[in-house]
Structure 1
Amino acid sequence: MTAQQRARAPFPAALAGARASWWFLLGGLPILLAGVWLRPAGQQAVYVLLDAASITAVLLGIRAHRPVRKLPWQLLAAGLACGAVSDLAWGIAFLVDMPPTGVSIIDAVYYAMYLLLAAALASLAARGRGSALVGMAEAGIVGCTAAVLAWVFLVDPVVEGWTGTNIGYGALAYPMLDLILLTMAVRLAVTAGAITHAHRIVLLAIGTLMVADIGYFVWYGSGGSWSGSAVSVACWMLFNLLCGAAALHPSIASGNGATAIGRYWRSPRRMTALYAVVVLIGPAVTAYSVWLDHGRGAFAAADVILPLGATAVTAVLLVVRLSHTSTLVNRRAADLQAALTDQAAMQEQMTHLAMHDALTGLPNRLYLDRLIQTAVDEGRPGCLLIVDLDGFQHVNDSFGHPIGDALLYEVAGRLREEVAGAAKLARLGGDEFALLLHDGDELMAEAQAQAVLTTLRHPVEVRGHRLHVTASIGLRNLAGAADSTEVLSDADLALYAAKAAGKDRVVAYDVTLRERQLQRIDVVDRLRTAIGTEAIVVHYQPIVSLSSGQFTAVEALVRWVPPGQAPIGPDDFIPAAEDSGLIVPLGEQVLRQACRDAAAWYHEYGTKLTVNVSPRQLAEPDFASRVRRALGDAGLPASALILEITEGVLVAAGAQAEQCIAHLGDLRRAGVQVAVDDFGTGYSSLAYLRDLPIDILKIDRSFMPDAATGDAVQQVALVRTIVDLAHTLRLTAVAEGVETDEQTAVLRTLGCDKGQGFHYGRPASADRTAAVLAGALSAPAQH
């Protein structure tokens, strides 16, 4: 019994468990044993006592355990009450010495008990309309079969010698009523689903009652007394005890210990065997009865009509049962077909979802991978194009992801129109798409790629925003590929090369890309080991005032000198450091070393230090504090430091652009100056000059006038424009890449403030730079 049930039950805990049931049964057994040996009047008293005890037990069980369905147990109590009334009436009749001499009203009350018991069993078995029909049919089959057997082997032999007394036929009524109980008991067993301990005890009680009634019928029919044999008396008393014990068992409410005993007979093989036996019993028993009567020479029509009639009813019930089974099978088959149809549709839908992109509806990477693998396996010609949008992250950061998603949807639509069945289009994820071209060579694929680039260059209208995007494309011919993984990997390498080459272009894969990729991986691995060691050194290049010719600052430039190997140029490892994220620890090492070297130069000569900063460094949450810590550890004032950034820092920083500006603003307020490196290339825009907290513009070396190129006039005009812009914004202009006296003279004429280049000195080690600053040498030695 659950804690909730115990809380609800207003009875002692002794009734909570199964012990009360068994104590009731064991406590009544001594009374039963004593009652068996009493005279009829005493036996009637014991009957009444046990009747009262069993009725009380049933009512207490209902109250204590509170079954969900009380009606079966209430009907059981009512049936027991009818038995108690009849037993009391028999006792009174004995006391006044007026026992009934035939079928009386007392027997009618007994018969009512059987009908109420049958109703209780029917109520216990009630589960549903379909289950009830099956249970009634199966119970009827068993009942009719039992009736045939009872008639031939029990009733007919006994009543054959009767003279027709009322008491005899009254005794016959009890086995007939037992057939009803047997029918209901079978129905309970086959339709109740789960048989509890309480159900088992009830079924045992019904079986005990049937044994008592059949024994009494045989006893009385054989000339015994009306009070019955000791076996019948004991079974009648035990029936009352078992009914009370069943109601006191807690399983009437909780269902503990339930087992589906009917399931044993539900297998097709056992059901077929059972039905075959049942169908054959009637004719076989009828034939046996006729054979016996023929041998005795006393043939009676009832010996044939009654068994055959019961057999006919059995056949009808079998038809009903099999019809229901057929209907159930058809319904389940229809349900199964519907379920399979739904499952197939769901499977198809799930497969579609697994193979397609939710945003654009295009096939996804998994779908494309299978197509490529099939084409490679079959040796079909074709090419793969991987299309990646340039600057898409900037769109997301500037306008939000909804606008970015809408842009991707529009791009997917344009690509659909462009390929128009000539290629299989897919979205690989993010802003990356793929086109798989069948039956075409590399020239056709390049032509298709150029057409895609042209299409995507047109502005895209998205929710009131006019967006301009371009794309980079990597191309891989399927010929010679081992599998789809190789094709996709090689196309990604070609795409990476297109990005590195300036974007908005197509690059076809060749083996040199793979070689460069492997070299890049090797560089990254070696660089990871070198960072933090003496293999990373800092060289310095002077920055000169064009008006005085004096050194005003030095720019720190990182160099990588592996022990025992040739130095590795910055162009060979800086891009790899950027891509791998190693630029952050590398940049911090350069910053800290440069601050230590420059501290003495600044305090002695007033020379400032310029250090390049990567967008990845600026995006670090604690970048400003790292710079302040490096300055403090080196003893270099903030006013002595200049941080160089590129024009594209805001684009490269993406979502961290505001954080980058905040870092620069924080450091600038502390006295650090900010310079824009390589101005005039990349993302040149007045908006960047407005948004970034800067002090210096460094003019890119590509603008330096060169008479040998024949465009010196245009170069001078461009430099003049940039210098004038810088002065208008109250910024210092520094020219990079100065290599000749002529260029110096032009820059001085244009009013440029400072210059930097090989003309003033090549990058040199800290010792050589210190010597130059001390005036020991005329210029730093070449590296």
Structure 2
Amino acid sequence: MARPRVTPLLLGSAASVLAAVVIFVINSRAQLTPVLWGWLPAVLGTALSTLAAWRTAAADGLEDSTRRLWRSIALVAAFVVIGLGSDAHQGIRDPARDVQREHDPLATIAYSLAMVVLLWALLRIPLGARRQRERTVRFVLDALTVSITAGIFAWYFTADVRAADNYGSATVPMLLLATLGLIGGLALIKVATSGLAGLDLVTVRWLAAAAIVGAAGGAGFPMLVHVHPGISGAQMFVPATMFCVTLAADRQRRAVTAPRAPRRRRPFSMVPYAAVGSTDCLLLVVAHASGPAVTAVAVAAVALTALVAFRQFAALSENARLLRRVDAGREQLRHQATHDGLTGLANRALFERATREALAAMPADGDALCLALIDLDDFKAINDRLGHAVGDALLVEVGRRLESCVRDGDVVARLGGDEFGLLLHGLRRQESDEVLSRITEALNRPVHALGYDLLTGASVGLAQTWPGAAPQELLRRADLAMYAAKERGKGRHAIYDAQLEHDRTADAQLGAELRRALDGGEFSLVYQPIVRLPDGEWTGLETLVRWHPPGRDPVSPATFVPVAERTGLIVPLGDWIMRSALRQAAAWTEQFGAAVPHEIGVNVSARQLREPGFAGDVRAALTETGFDPERLVVEVTETAVFDGGAAQDTLNELVSLGVRVALDDFGTGHSSLGLLRTVPTDTLKVDKSFVDGIGSGSEEAVIATAMIQITDGLHLKAIAEGVETAEQAQTLHRMGYRFAQGYHFARPLSAEQITRHLAEAPATMPV
């Protein structure tokens, strides 16, 4: 809370109040000091208040509506200075004239303009079109209530004044100023209870007190207290009024940087009840002087009024209670609309809004702003295998860990599913790696969720702002970096740069060409034989895909297959490969019978294994072609099934169909030996890198020997890949290998070449 501090303006204003009271008391019976002395404290105090209001209007941190209000208050104080100067001039020129009850035209106009400017400034405060209309209607009704009440009191008392002193029309400007003053005070109280942003509540109360004291006290005092000509109640009440204004200005300047406590709005206005109660009291006073009969009627009327007021008060209180419940429900709905119901974090809508606001508020040379997107690896497998309750508990814990990794002011959001977002303020590029490493490390630690210890990683992508950055483009770049992190392996992070954009553009262009090629039939299949050692009999065929764009050189699978993986086109392409290979193998079987190699191998990517319904598609292809499932070998890499999850579940479904599984490129992946216990494998295909250097005494020879011992012990079939020389084939046979493939036996052959070979010779190719 902003505490008042002694300043020259406050000291001067307080001194003017003290001097005004002292001079007024000295001159209350007779004019003992010069007339000018009585007006100086009021003029000086008002001038100080004008300066205080103008300084407050120029203070930093004020909202535009509040700044405009304080400029208007400074103008109000300036009009009061003019009115006081006119009253002082009138008193000096004609000391016998009663400035207590009469003002010259200039003073009356100045005081009236002061109140009109104040009311106009208050009515200009923006509260929204609908609220502005409602507030104006309520204010007008309350103002009429105050006016009628003030008018009836003024009429009653001025009737006595006229009868006793015959002041005639001198009371009219007094009545006008008193009513305007009460209405001004009422308007300020309305502003206080409406909760105007930027205007401190204590400040408004001081201003309301100033309006009521100044106008009602200064104008109503002559109607109640009779003093000699030459002295005016304004000489005492104006300094007190302006002291309140100076206090309000000081409070407003200090409250700009102080936190404001939430305001509780009053459910209804007390003004009508106060006005009715005051008028009832006056009615009883008048009735008492008129006799018992009138008094009885007045008492009954007052009692009925009190009962009606109490009944309405009770109804309004109940309405207020209901409105509080509605407000609480509205606040809850507002929170639900901007926050995730499971984790309590910001949701996508709030995250995008916070991003827009942060970009709009960020100066051109200000601190950096980074946006990170986080996607959990293999979260779907946890949901599928352990249930959604465990998955939800995991998401909650991930949200907590992310909050622990960021600073105050950063935004953590759950964007949907297992995707999270971070808005990081003041993070420079050189600090990015450290922050991302801390996040990935926190997410890679085991998570305890509903009795399960889960090991889950996350792929994180980060993008940094640039001049003129747009929120959607920043999100797109972070998303691009996140998918780049996924492609590099799970549990990694990536930062957006121009190379990613170039790769993305190239991928998009090549992806479009792939789509056209698939629709246009530009792909073809070739088959590389798998042979038995040492006689070279064909025991199987591995299916390989080739792309020959019309009018262009062939595109290597090493180029287009990764792009197909990243763009998702590997799914339709893989489905075409599977169906085409099975149709061709079924045709060969029908034509050549037992001479056809027993097994047909088809490579399947990790993306295909994670695709829902992949096993069903394979079943449909087997049914459509009539091919024996036990002759189909699905070849997968270690990386595709390393983390288990959906990929391993798909393999289990395929095995249940009778399909056999081969681990391709064995020995180059993450944890080969561990996979042999979890993946339903029939065959290991030893990678070419171990065959190339298989000469006597080499490390590759030791590894190749160990692998054949493992496969023999586990009763698995081992196939050596990439055999290019007779010496390699002979060495592998001596080690214990009975199956191999490579250019030494045959290069990949087209379907026509395979057909001619099957037609011309037995299914053997000598070593």
8 Å CA contact 2:532, 2:738 repeated in 1? yes
Instruction: Give the partner amino acid of 1:366.
Output: A
What is the CA–CA distance in structure 2 between the aligned matches of 1:523 and 1:736, rounded to whole Å? 30
1:728 is matched with: 713
Moved more, 716-725 or 332-341: 332-341
1:371 is matched with: 354
- Cα offset, 1:502, TM superposition: 1.3
**Which of 295, 306, 315 is matched with 1:323 structurally?**
306
Secondary structure of the corresponding residue to residue 715 of structure 2? coil
1:729-748 to structure 2, matched below 5 A, reads: 729-741=714-726, 743-748=728-733
8 Å CA contact 1:737, 1:756 repeated in 2? yes
1:717 is matched with: 702
Secondary structure of the corresponding residue to residue 387 of structure 1? strand
Moved more, 641-650 or 485-494: 641-650
1:466 is matched with: 453
8 Å CA contact 1:646, 1:676 repeated in 2? yes
**Which of 429, 432, 442 is matched with 2:429 structurally?**
442
Change (3 A) 1:525 1:326: farther
Instruction: Give the partner amino acid of 1:504.
Output: G
Change (3 A) 1:321 1:720: farther
- Cα offset, 1:477, TM superposition: 0.4
1:611 aligns with 2:598: no
Secondary structure of the corresponding residue to residue 479 of structure 1? coil
8 Å CA contact 2:694, 2:700 repeated in 1? no
What is the CA–CA distance in structure 2 between the aligned matches of 1:537 and 1:587, rounded to whole Å? 12
Change (3 A) 1:588 1:447: closer
Instruction: Give the partner amino acid of 2:431.
Output: M
1:757 aligns with 2:742: yes
1:664 is matched with: 655
- Cα offset, 1:507, TM superposition: 0.8
1:623 is matched with: 617
What is the CA–CA distance in structure 1 between the aligned matches of 2:339 and 2:611, rounded to whole Å? 38
2:391 is matched with: 404
1:144-183 to structure 2, matched below 5 A, reads: none
1:50 is matched with: none
1:560-599 to structure 2, matched below 5 A, reads: 560-575=547-562, 577-578=564-565, 582-599=569-586
Secondary structure of the corresponding residue to residue 469 of structure 2? coil
8 Å CA contact 1:761, 1:779 repeated in 2? no
2:376 is matched with: 389
8 Å CA contact 2:378, 2:645 repeated in 1? no
What is the CA–CA distance in structure 1 between the aligned matches of 2:701 and 2:311, rounded to whole Å? 96
Change (3 A) 1:418 1:713: farther
1:114-129 to structure 2, matched below 5 A, reads: none
- Cα offset, 1:770, TM superposition: 4.0
- Cα offset, 1:436, TM superposition: 2.1
In structure 2, list runs of 5 or more residues that go unmatched: 1-289
What is the CA–CA distance in structure 1 between the aligned matches of 2:490 and 2:680, rounded to whole Å? 28
Instruction: Give the partner amino acid of 1:623.
Output: D
- Cα offset, 1:315, TM superposition: 5.9
- Cα offset, 1:343, TM superposition: 3.9
What is the CA–CA distance in structure 1 between the aligned matches of 2:700 and 2:301, rounded to whole Å? 108
Change (3 A) 1:617 1:326: closer
8 Å CA contact 2:413, 2:420 repeated in 1? yes
What is the CA–CA distance in structure 2 between the aligned matches of 1:775 and 1:619, rounded to whole Å? 41
1:516-535 to structure 2, matched below 5 A, reads: 516-531=503-518, 533-535=520-522
Secondary structure of the corresponding residue to residue 531 of structure 2? strand
Change (3 A) 1:563 1:741: same
Change (3 A) 1:549 1:519: same
Cα offsets for 1:470-513 (capped at 9, x unmatched): 22211100224632221112111101000101122221112332
Secondary structure of the corresponding residue to residue 356 of structure 2? helix
8 Å CA contact 1:734, 1:756 repeated in 2? yes
Cα offsets for 1:265-308 (capped at 9, x unmatched): xxxxxxxxxxxxxxxxxxxxxxxxxxxxxxxxxxxxxxx99xx9
| Aligned residue pair count | 467
What is the CA–CA distance in structure 1 between the aligned matches of 2:704 and 2:387, rounded to whole Å? 38
**Which of 644, 647, 660 is matched with 2:635 structurally?**
644
- Cα offset, 1:703, TM superposition: 3.6
Cα offsets for 1:228-263 (capped at 9, x unmatched): xxxxxxxxxxxxxxxxxxxxxxxxxxxxxxxxxxxx
What is the CA–CA distance in structure 1 between the aligned matches of 2:482 and 2:572, rounded to whole Å? 28
- Cα offset, 1:556, TM superposition: 1.1
What is the CA–CA distance in structure 2 between the aligned matches of 1:753 and 1:480, rounded to whole Å? 64
Instruction: Give the partner amino acid of 1:345.
Output: A
What is the CA–CA distance in structure 2 between the aligned matches of 1:565 and 1:314, rounded to whole Å? 110
- Cα offset, 1:579, TM superposition: 5.7
Change (3 A) 1:645 1:766: same
What is the CA–CA distance in structure 1 between the aligned matches of 2:560 and 2:296, rounded to whole Å? 98
1:675 is matched with: 662
Change (3 A) 1:467 1:484: same
2:335 is matched with: 352
1:700 is matched with: 687
Instruction: Give the partner amino acid of 2:480.
Output: L
- Cα offset, 1:742, TM superposition: 5.2
Change (3 A) 1:693 1:469: closer
Moved more, 427-436 or 725-734: 427-436
Change (3 A) 1:434 1:741: farther
Secondary structure of the corresponding residue to residue 663 of structure 1? helix
Cα offsets for 1:162-199 (capped at 9, x unmatched): xxxxxxxxxxxxxxxxxxxxxxxxxxxxxxxxxxxxxx
Change (3 A) 1:367 1:759: farther
1:231-380 to structure 2, matched below 5 A, reads: 318-379=301-362, 380=366
8 Å CA contact 1:617, 1:623 repeated in 2? no
2:153 is matched with: none
8 Å CA contact 1:619, 1:657 repeated in 2? no
8 Å CA contact 2:372, 2:423 repeated in 1? yes
8 Å CA contact 1:395, 1:404 repeated in 2? yes
- Cα offset, 1:356, TM superposition: 2.4
1:9-88 to structure 2, matched below 5 A, reads: none
What is the CA–CA distance in structure 1 between the aligned matches of 2:385 and 2:411, rounded to whole Å? 32
Change (3 A) 1:475 1:373: same
What is the CA–CA distance in structure 2 between the aligned matches of 1:594 and 1:715, rounded to whole Å? 34
What is the CA–CA distance in structure 1 between the aligned matches of 2:764 and 2:474, rounded to whole Å? 53
**Which of 489, 499, 509 is matched with 2:476 structurally?**
489
In structure 1, list runs of 5 or more residues that go unmatched: 1-303
Bigger Cα Rg: 1
- Cα offset, 1:592, TM superposition: 3.1
- Cα offset, 1:596, TM superposition: 3.9
- Cα offset, 1:734, TM superposition: 0.9
1:193 is matched with: none
Moved more, 698-707 or 548-557: 698-707
Aligned-CA RMSD value: 4.0
Secondary structure of the corresponding residue to residue 543 of structure 1? strand
8 Å CA contact 1:618, 1:660 repeated in 2? no
1:513 is matched with: 500
TM-score between both structures, scaled by the size of structure 1: 0.52
Moved more, 475-484 or 649-658: 649-658
What is the CA–CA distance in structure 2 between the aligned matches of 1:594 and 1:569, rounded to whole Å? 20
Secondary structure of the corresponding residue to residue 327 of structure 1? helix
Cα offsets for 1:374-400 (capped at 9, x unmatched): 222223522122222323333333333
Secondary structure of the corresponding residue to residue 554 of structure 1? strand
